[in-house]
Structure 1
Amino acid sequence: MLYSLLSFSIKNTETLVSNYFNFIKTILKNKFYKLLPYSILYNNILIKFYISNLKLTTNKYEIKNLNYLNSKLNPFYQVSIPIDLYFNAKLIKFNYNLFKFPKIDSENNLILNGLKKIFISKIKRDSGLYFNIIKKNNFTIYKAFLLFNNLNLINIQLINNTFKIYNFKDKKEIDFIIFLHYLGISNSEIIKLSKYGNSNFLKNILINSFNNYKFIYKNKIFYLKYLKQLSSYFGIINNKNNIYLNSYTIKINNLINKIEKEKFNNIFGFDIRNNLIYLSKDLINILDYLIDLKFNKINITDLDNFSNKKLENVINIFLNQLNIILEKRLKFLLNNLKKLNINNKNNFINFINNKNYIYNFKDQFNIHPLIQYLDQINSLSEIMHKFKLIKSNKINNKEFALRDIKLSELGKLCLINTSEGLNSGLIVYLPQNIIIDNFQIRNPIKINKNYTKLFKIKTINSIEQEKYNISLDYKIIRKNKQLFSLNSVNFYKNYLNKNILNQESYFHESEIFSLAQNLIPFLIHNEPTRSLMGAKMQTQSVPLIYKQKPLITTNTQQILSLKNNNIYSLQEGIITYVSSYKIIIRDLLNREITYYLPNYNFSNQNTLINYIPLVWPGERVSSGQLIANSQDFIDNEFSIGNNCFILYGSYLGYDFEDALIINKNLINNNIFTSLHLDYYEISCLYDINNYLEITSNKIPKYTKYAKRNLDNFGIIKEGSKILKDDVLIGKIKLYNLTKKQESLGKFLFVLFGYQLRNIKDTSILVSSGNSGRIAKIELISNFNNFKELNNYLKIKIFVIKQRLLEIGDKLWGRYGNKGVISHIANSVDLPYTEDSITPDIITTSIGVPSRMNLGQLYESLFGLNCYYLNKRLLLNTNLNNKLGSNYLKTLLYNYLKEINLYKGISNFNSYNFGKTQLFNGKTGKMLKGTNLFGTVFYTKLIHMVKDKIHYRTIGPYSTITQQPLKSRSKKGGQRFGEMEVWALEAFGAAYNLKELFTFKSDNIKARFNLQEYLLYNLPLKNSILSESFYLVLNHLKSLALNIEALIISEKNKDLKNLIK
């Protein structure tokens, strides 16, 4: 297959990391050469900059500090430049600190305030040449846009048989022919180089341009200054006589890179340049191109073509602000030179290098909209988050052309995987096999010119892709009856054609989808929107304690194991020690190298990060061999769920819509049990007024049961099992007595000998849904500087929570078939098959045909064969190539017949193909009809019921919409979605639904009435319709549909007949 032949075929982050290291080594220094002078003379002080000796210093840190949520950890590089100051015939040497920027580790992560973050790359318009036609005031304007890297935009336009050049920065316009004359390009050269040199149209334009010289001569000082400024974008000025050198050898500074040369060659159709872009030839070609557009000889290429785009990553943030930072730091140095004193030069150096005056990119990154917390729910979510792309920052962008999929994006962007909602089409993902070269995306294609089994792999960008007639890898539509050959879909020059099968250049089908998409077997038999949902939910799956490999696999699971998430050996050697904490390898040079496994760590989403060693002592390992897997892998294969028996049918009505009924054995055997970590940080404070917080277990307010796990100091013990309302830390705060309390205290002391204290209880209790076990406790004391920090003791408590399946949790398959658990049934009550197998999951069969999810049916039937015969099915290219014919149907029938032959199960026959006869679990009688019964790979989502709903809680409401707030940080309420409503409807819980939609929603009057009923025992009135229903009525009224509520009674009997 394609990925086994490519060294770059793993979707990795190394390309972005290599660009970052290239920025540190070369780009940063080259930028300094352009921006900083060699020396400056200021107030008789000579300043010399040694850019070649540019220094990068960094802070040291241990990666294990991230595991304890160290909020002060910010790895950075500090850029400083050596400076020599010649002052009063004396030399002062020092390093001048310029700025700090964050480090990027080998996994392309930014570590800010101890948390891993990621920069989302943005697709941006690349510098180059663009053409457009605009109709305005009954005039047709033909425009050519020159966009430079420094964001200067120049417009050359043809209007009313006159060429104009316009600078958007200065907003000034001048005749384009006069500008060419200023560059030294005469009329004879224009006629010689232009293909319209002999035409009367161009000659008339040249003659008319001389009339404009009279107007320019009147304001020659102004126009000469503007021409000089405009020409600075195109070439190099000779400082002696302020005129250009030979125009044939002048190069355009900002269009000198390889990509821009390729664009110019692609537009103008010539390739005569070696290292220079010839200014006169290019400008006259722009003139010819505009004339071609006027006479309709050529068509305009799409402005949104992907060849006109580039990726903007975190390096561009540094480069865009580097000139501003250098200007500020240089000005700061010059302004403070008056404070220079030879005797106290150290004070001067310390002052100008003060960290308060040095620009730190960390402050900007903390609020940057494209820097997000790394999604670490599982390994796949981390990978997919790093390859998210943004097309536009405007969420309300209504341009369909920007959101639409273009053929030039084929192989560069995933066709299906995008964001849902308002950002649909604006947030996209990279496909599986790409490389990033010079901020351009390149994808591989197969080239087979001799039509043999041997082929070569070549990477191409969007410009090169237009030169190839590309088809999908043996994707056959149908046979051509006339030519007796096969038809396929071809892509050529951004057009889609249906031609005879092309075997010369083609994509592999996995090249146009992302990793999450390629994990879905039978992808072709799935609806695109459901495939998108399945890809999204794979990144939201929780790592489980017990998991299995999927019976139906696509081999993309093994590609995922080649990511940076796993640990590889860096050298060849012998394993000498293996544990869950570290692996020691002795290499060929008799050196011991230790690999530490970061076990039981936090992720940003509070899931567990754990690594499992795959080697044993005495094993010989080679360089690059996998030695430890993360928690999402089994035997080097991505596995995040379990294979479950599924029944498509009904059970007591609990399967309403997409609700799920699960077997209680799943809970008893911990099949979908996951581990989550929680973190508490408690401080004991000491303030100026001598108010002190202390820990104690002798707080009479709580019961002995609530304090059963506290030690003598009032701190929870390690390994303790904690439940709701248990005391984590018994803590009180001591205050001074007030004047009234002092007199009362003296009175109590005389009577009972008891000293009165002013105490406030500040204990920490376990909240609802946070039960678990104490994994670790850390005590950090600050005795040396506690008066400054007002914090003499910090306590960190790590709680590990084991979450079983319960009603309200979400399960999903790989095809977007998700559902909320509505009922947990006993195994003995469920229907069973002939060989006494009860289903693990029961779901309705209505959702399959309505959503066109045929893939899940194929998986259930093929998976049943894999279960009975103890094998796994790999969907490779040979199977997918024949999906257009009846091959899959024949194969499926043979697989089901194979179960009949080897296992003796007689209910798989041609009369009820794929259906199974079931028996009632309560009576043992055979059920009428047959049902589809099979094996499907299911996973638990992170949207668990304990995080979503708290029973009968009412939190704050929005003052505008009177809806419950959404965020948990704002104590928001019930995130009760559509599928949760279906689960309640399956139970017939009408009163619960009514309470959610009226009292706990936006029905203000009913909410106050409920409060009066609970507090003052006033009668509870029936709730009126909610505001959301009135909103629906208003929408219907906007469609000229008037809906009124009428009461049917004896007086108006005509309404009964009307309804009938």
Structure 2
Amino acid sequence: MPGAPNRVSFAKLREPLEVPGLLDVQIDSFEWLIGSPRWRAAATDRGEPSPVGGLEEVLYELSPIEDFSGSMSLSFSDPRFDEVKAPVDECKDKDMTYAAPLFVTAEFINNNTGEIKSQTVFMGDFPMMTEKGTFIINGTERVVVSQLVRSPGVYFDETIDKSTEKLLHSVKVIPSRGAWLEFDVDKRDTVGVRIDRKRRQPVTVLLKALGWTNEQIHERFGFSEIMMGTLEKDNTAGTDEALLDIYRKLRPGEPPTKESAQTLLENLFFKEKRYDLARVGRYKVNKKLGLHAGEPITSSTLTEEDVVATIEYLVRLHHARTDGQAAVMTVPGGIEVPVETDDIDHFGNRRLRTVGELIQNQIRVGMSRMERVVRERMTTQDVEAITPQTLINIRPVVAAIKEFFGTSQLSQFMDQNNPLSGLTHKRRLSALGPGGLSRERAGLEVRDVHPSHYGRMCPIETPEGPNIGLIGSLSVYARVNPFGFIETPYRKVVDGVVTDEIHYLTADEEDRHVVAQANSPIDSGGRFVEPRVLVRRKAGEVEYVPSSEVDYMDVSPRQMVSVATAMIPFLEHDDANRALMGANMQRQAVPLVRSEAPLVGTGMELRAAIDAGDVVVADKAGVIEEVSADYITVMADDGTRHTYRMRKFERSNHGTCANQSPIVDAGDRVEAGQVIADGPCTENGEMALGKNLLVAIMPWEGHNYEDAIILSNRLVEEDVLTSIHIEEHEIDARDTKLGAEEITRDIPNVSDEVLADLDERGIVRIGAEVRDGDILVGKVTPKGETELTPEERLLRAIFGEKAREVRDTSLKVPHGESGKVIGIRVFSREDDDELPAGVNELVRVYVAQKRKISDGDKLAGRHGNKGVIGKILPVEDMPFLPDGTPVDIILNTHGVPRRMNIGQILETHLGWVAKSGWNIDGSPEWAANLPEDLLHAQPNQIVSTPVFDGAKEEELQGMLSCTLPNRDGEVMVDGDGKAVLFDGRSGEPFPYPVTVGYMYIMKLHHLVDDKIHARSTGPYSMITQQPLGGKAQFGGQRFGEMECWAMQAYGAAYTLQELLTIKSDDTVGRVKVYEAIVKGENIPEPGIPESFKVLLKELQSLCLNVEVLSSDGAAIELREGEDEDLERAAANLGINLSRNESASVEDLA
């Protein structure tokens, strides 16, 4: 890549294939859906004579829509799009959907007169994909996740009967749409069939219903005793009786007739409207049963031959497994097909439904709803006046698309924590969602790593919780074929010679071949060096074979892992569980004020950053003409001028700060594809999620016990781990029943100091420092008015509307937040902005907060080594090296051995080597395989150690002893990577050498400022009058049953009574206590808690008369509500202690 940073690599292997476009899985699929010219060109190159896009496919399926008599028909063709309504930035700003109008040609034919009416019909606004593979729906960026589902097809299974221990076999024919067809051999050795999951019948009944005679069955299945036995037990006489028998099972209670039974069976399996295997299902059935090999796929329904071949396959499988007969079936054409059971978790049987197909299915649903409307209108409207436009109602189609993007489990709010998290989100594979699995039902088998995942789905990157194994990530080199199966590339091996010819194989194609791994040693001519090569065969079996037997070889050692996993250096030395955490935690890294690329990378950083789309890339080669913080102008070689605008301090979906800054100067020469501006979490075009910090691995006074981390105060003072977070606050002025709300500076009962930062409109000024409780936007809402007195009417007449009662509903900074106002957006009906119904004005305020690192924040490395900051020490107390350099961070040694993530230690050593620079004298044995550019390097040389092809242990050890001395001529770290450290407090050396080096540390999005919470008074629940729970509701801490026991155990009766009454739901007592505290009086006695009154009401509802008696037996009346004293006290104090559960955010603030 031109202009790539000068990172030197430890890779020994040459990769014959560039990493493919990392967003292709999204972009290619959407281009197939809309039938873009680029997709058509690619399909033609693949050898498809007339490629059909996803939308065209739906229109062809739907056409023609005929009325009930067949005299009229409506067909659709030629879907096309107009220009998008607004650019991406405007859609984000104005809460619009990034969409283009869709038009189709509709043709109405009157078969009686032969009249044809053709019109172009608008089919609604169709959401379009942005260049980054995302959708913008109502102003928010969303991603459609690809779904892993069982492919339609035919699946053979084997089970053992518990009672007889016999082998039983069954087969399911699973369509994309329609009824299931299941055959099985039971323990009584009869072959049965279940149609649409109804009661089991002998299989011969179905064969007879399809028109087969006993003689034909004898001729085809005479080899099988079990089929002959089944035929004998079958009592149906002929085709008619068999059809009626099936009809009775499927439609019990309806009178059977021969015609209705025939129609039902045909509709169930042989009519395209009701049954669809889809192209992929037809392909799988043909492949499994050996039918129509090599012929193009035309129909997608079942055929009689499919049913018969499936039954024969099942019977032959049963005989092969029980009687030892030959496990082959000869099909028409003399081809022998091996008979074997299927593994449902194999990637040859699981396919991806990508974005295009998911949207296509949704459009299909909408179109079929529309079809009903069209049919009804054909019968009700006057034939002469009918035009396509009058028949079509596009509402169901628009609603279906909206429903998918708005509410589907697979349309997700984009993860924009950092560029890597967004990239990974687009490459995610989910087995959940409609038509998929549910996390409750999914067993261990489906979650497990399968040998067929190799090179297709990453075995490392998956969530840790209930979704483990159900959500995965696409491997680096994987791609999706037109049938939805994941393919991975291999180098062809011919007679023991590895070529650069690349073949993409699906999982079941790969099973037929012998594959060598990428690091098998080969000479300069491509021949294997060893006579026997380590290979893998079907089902993940590994063995050594002669080199002449090898068919393929992996293209790269990182072929099996995903992008995030491929960014972990020394991955091969980490335990898989910790590598999983490392891959997942990289996605949680927060963009820092100054990004820093890792000293020790893997070579994946540049490509990941470019494909994530948060950096600015030059479209054409040319010369930089002008550079500023806001834009870059490039004069291209072809004479055109391009201006690239920078994103400045924008808020991402996750509240992190997205900011772009140029990395080129005027007069620089740039090539096409070169990075010219960095985005968040990138440096010089490379992904940069954290900081290179000087780490010492040692215990320190017990302060780094249990994964706690000790930090140097330098990181706080110098803003090394400081991040900017931007919060968006929104308020709207609506029309209410009592009048319109108003955004204004004129707020009742508010002092001038509070209004100091508001402008004349009542909106806070940009640059104002705000903290919780400050007003951001002033707003008043009309109060309910009673009958006006004559005096009030006079005031109203004199002062106009101002005298009417309004209440303050201003937008205030939420509890616990603070920062600086950096942006304001005002939308109003007067300016012709699109606003929801009833909203007159909408104001958005952006508040930026600079968060320095503090104790309680979570830090992590790339190897699953995570921890919370336990103590921040002054620089002078930190341990220091012999030359006086204090370390930045101290990690505990106990975090390494049992977790088995040794990669972090190797990274620390190599980090020290890279920071210090090195010089390898002579040609030592350990350096024999090192590339030329790794023999010498200056300090701060960035290096890459690709996964499974990185620096070896002996190379690392050798380089540690070849590091360059510092300015004083000292080499502080020895060949073991350890240094003598001195205690910063005493100046004495620690009694043992300590591992010191540079480790890449990330600040994660688990920040203490977002988690710390305290409440004095706040909202209460409506029913129980107890405080709400949780930070979002400004709730209290629950004092539960077990906590009460602890108090009782200590005998702390008064404290407990206080907790359960005046601090909770004693509505009278809590106001009186507040008053007593304010006035400095003694705390009054607690009253009766509201929950006790609720208990009484519950008992009364069960018709139990419950009374409260005093000690002398007199009945105590529990008053409902609060007395006058209470209301007076609350009013005087200016508080509302009995605030109910708030109806809106404004009430809460």
- TM-score (ref. length: structure 1): 0.79
**Structure 2 residue 456 is matched with structure 1 residue 442:** no
Measure how far apart 1:835 and its partner are.
0.6
Number of the residue aligned with 2:138:
113
Contact 1:531 1:816 in 2 (8 A): yes
Q: Does 1:142 align with 2:166?
A: no
**Structure 1, 104-113 or 935-944: larger mean CA deviation:** 104-113
Q: Aligned in 2, Cα 1:53/1:965: closer, same or farther, shift over 3 Å?
A: same
Q: State the AA in 2 paired with 1:418.
A: T
Determine the C-alpha separation between the residues in 2 that align with 1:256 and 1:727: 59
Q: Specify the alignment match of 2:8 in structure 1.
A: none
Query: How far apart are the structure 1 equivalents of 2:138 and 2:1051?
Result: 43
Q: What secondary structure is seen at the aligned counterpart in 2 of 1:772?
A: strand
1:94-173 residue pairs with structure 2 within 5 A?
94-96=119-121, 101-134=126-159, 135=161, 138=164, 141-159=168-186, 160-168=188-196, 173=201
Q: Deviations over 1:162-201 (max 9, x none)?
A: 444432266573534872794679957985x78xx6x474
Instruction: Flag the 1:931–1:48 CA change in 2: closer, same or farther, 3 A.
Output: same
Equivalent position amino acid for 1:512 in 2 = M
Q: Does 1:936 align with 2:971?
A: no
Rate the CA distance shift 1:973–1:805 in 2: closer, same or farther, 3 A: farther
Which secondary structure state, in structure 1, belongs to the residue aligned with residue 1010 of structure 2?
Answer: helix
Tell me what 1:637 maps to. Answer: 686
Q: Which stretch shows the higher mean deviation, 520-529 or 391-400?
A: 391-400
- Which whole-Å CA distance do the structure 1 matches of 2:321 and 2:740 have between them? 82
- Residue identity in the other structure for 2:828: S
Task: Kindly provide the CA deviation profile for residues 850-872 of structure 1, in whole angstroms up to 9, marking residues without a partner as x.
Answer: 32221111222221222222144
Describe the shift of the 1:82–1:835 C-alpha distance in structure 2 as closer, same or farther (beyond 3 A). Answer: same
Matched, 1:75 2:99: yes
User: What is the Cα deviation at residue 729 of structure 1?
Assistant: 3.1
Aligned to 2:1139: none
Q: Which amino acid in structure 2 is aligned with residue 154 of structure 1?
A: L
What is the aligned partner in structure 2 of residue 764 from structure 1? Answer: 811
| Distance of 1:691 and 1:253 partners within structure 2 | 56
The alpha-carbon deviation at position 20 of structure 1 amounts to 2.1
Work out the CA distance in 1 between the residues paired with 2:633 and 2:640.
Answer: 10
Higher RCO (CA 8 Å, separation ≥ 6 residues): 2
Deviations 1:943-970 (A, max 9, x none): 1111111245687899999999886544
1:801 maps to a residue whose letter is: Q
| Residue 358 to residue 514, structure 1, CA distance change in 2 (3 Å) | closer
2:1143 alignment partner in structure 1: none
Pick which of 376-385 and 457-466 moved more: 457-466
Report the CA distance between 1:938 and its aligned residue. 0.8
Q: Within the alignment, does 1:773 sit opposite 2:848 as a pair?
A: no
How far does the alpha carbon of each residue in 1:645-704 deviate from its partner, in whole angstroms, 9 at most, with x for none?
Answer: 112234444323222221111122111111121222233455454465352278663363
Question: Secondary structure of the residue that 2:77 maps to in structure 1?
Answer: helix
The match for 1:679 is 728
Query: After superposition, what is the alpha-carbon deviation per residue over 1:10-36, rounded to whole angstroms, capped at 9, x for unaligned?
Result: 352223322222222323223322332
How far does the alpha carbon of each residue in 1:238-278 deviate from its partner, in whole angstroms, 9 at most, with x for none? xxxxxxxxxxxxxx99668478546754x567985434797
Preserved CA contact (<8 Å) 2:209 2:242: no
CA distance in 2, matches of 1:460, 1:1004: 71
Deviations 1:823-863 (A, max 9, x none): 22211222211111111112322222232221111222221
Is structure 2 residue 473 aligned with structure 1 residue 429? yes
Separation of aligned partners in 2, 1:470 and 1:90 = 63
Distance 1:892 1:570 in 2: 44
**Residues in 2 aligned to 1:749 and 1:227: alpha-carbon distance in whole angstroms:** 84
Counterpart selection for 1:647 from 696, 699, 707? 696
Deviation at 1:638, TM superposition (A): 0.8
Which residue of structure 2 lines up, in the alignment, with residue 303 of structure 1? 344
Shift of 1:542: 0.7
Give 1:564 deviation, angstroms. 4.7
3-state DSSP of counterpart to 2:823: strand
2:1013 maps to a residue whose letter is H
Please say which of residues 860-869 and 768-777 is displaced more in the overlay: 768-777
Deviation at 1:453, TM superposition (A): 6.6
Measured in 1, the distance between the counterparts of 2:380 and 2:390 equals 12
Q: Does the C-alpha gap of structure 1 residues 693 and 919 become closer, same or farther in structure 2, counting only changes over 3 Å? A: same
- The AA in structure 2 aligned to 1:61 is A
User: What aligned pairs does 1:408-557 form with structure 2 within 5 A after superposition?
Assistant: 408-438=452-482, 439-452=484-497, 454-474=499-519, 490-499=535-544, 505-507=552-554, 508-557=556-605
Q: What letter is aligned with 2:491?
A: K
Deviation at 1:55, TM superposition (A): 4.8
Q: Distance in 1 between matches of 2:983 and 2:77?
A: 83
Measured after TM superposition, the shift of residue 433 of structure 1 is 1.4
User: Which range is displaced more, 539-548 or 222-231?
Assistant: 222-231
- Could you say which residue in structure 2 is the equivalent of 1:293? 321
- Cα distance, 1:116 vs structure 2: 1.2
Q: Does 1:796 align with 2:844?
A: yes
Question: Quick check: 1:118–1:386 contact (8 Å CA) kept in 2?
Answer: yes
Secondary structure at 2:424 match in 1: helix
Shift of 1:605: 0.5
Partner of 2:953: 888
**C-alpha displacement of 1:760:** 2.8
Matches of 2:139 and 2:460 in 1, distance apart?
A: 34
| TM-fit CA distance, 1:205 | 5.5
1:20 aligns to what? 30
| 8 Å contact kept, 1:882–1:888 | no
Aligned residues of 1:948 and 1:975 also touching (Cα < 8 A): no
What is the identity, as a one-letter code, of the residue corresponding to 2:506? Answer: N
Residue 560 of structure 2 aligns with an amino acid whose one-letter code is I
1:382 maps to a residue whose letter is G
User: How does 1:823-838 map onto structure 2 within 5 Å?
Assistant: 823-838=871-886
Per-residue deviation, residues 86-109 of structure 1 (Å, max 9, x unmatched): 599987654455566533333332
Q: Distance in 2 between matches of 1:924 and 1:665?
A: 19
Instruction: Find the aligned partners of 1:542 and 1:419 in 2 and give their Cα distance.
Output: 19
**Out of 443, 464, 467, which is 1:399 matched to?**
443
Structure 2 regions of 5+ residues with no counterpart? Answer: 1-10, 36-52, 245-255, 298-302, 328-339, 522-528, 918-938, 1040-1045, 1077-1081, 1087-1149
How far apart are the structure 1 equivalents of 2:268 and 2:807? Answer: 71
Native 8 Å contact 2:367 2:396 kept in 1? no
1:204-353 equivalent positions in 2, closer than 5 A: 204=228, 208=232, 212-213=236-237, 217=241, 226=261, 229-230=264-265, 257=279, 261=283, 264-265=286-287, 267=288, 273-275=294-296, 279=306, 284-297=312-325, 300-320=341-361, 322=363, 324-336=365-377, 340=381, 349=389, 353=393
| Deviation at residue 798 of structure 1 after TM alignment | 2.0
Residue 980 of structure 2 aligns with which residue? Answer: 917
Q: What is the one-letter code of the residue matched to 1:390?
A: S
- Check the 8 A contact 1:142/1:294 in 2, yes or no: no
Query: Once structures 1 and 2 are overlaid, which stretch shifts more, 601-610 or 80-89?
Result: 80-89
My pick for the range that moved more, 169-178 or 14-23, is 169-178
Distance change (3 Å), C-alpha of 1:501 and 1:852: farther
Partner of 1:175: 203
How many Å separate the matches in 2 of 1:966 and 1:40?
59
Q: Secondary structure at the match of 1:563?
A: helix
Question: Between the two proteins, what is the percent identity of the paired residues?
Answer: 22
The answer to whether the Cα contact below 8 Å between 1:388 and 1:428 also exists between their aligned partners in 2 is: yes
408-417 or 169-178: bigger deviation: 169-178
State the alpha-carbon separation in 1 of the partners of residues 596 and 582 from structure 2: 19
What CA distance in whole angstroms lies between the structure 2 residues aligned with 1:831 and 1:589? Answer: 58
Could you list the runs of 5+ residues in structure 1 that have no partner in the other structure?
238-251, 477-483, 977-992, 1022-1060
Compared with structure 1, are the counterparts of its residues 680 and 232 closer, same or farther at alpha carbon in structure 2 (3 Å cutoff)?
closer
Change (3 A) 1:534 1:741: farther
Question: Aligned residue for 2:1134?
Answer: none
Distance 1:639 1:901 in 2: 27
Comparing 855-864 with 165-174, greater Cα deviation is found at 165-174
AA at the equivalent of 2:1011: K
Q: Residues 660 and 505 of structure 1: is their aligned pair in 2 closer, same or farther, counting only changes over 3 Å? A: same
Q: Distance in 2 between matches of 1:217 and 1:286?
A: 25
One-letter amino acid of the structure 2 residue matched with residue 948 of structure 1: K
Aligned length: 964
CA distance in 2, matches of 1:747, 1:275: 87
What is the Cα deviation at residue 643 of structure 1? 0.7
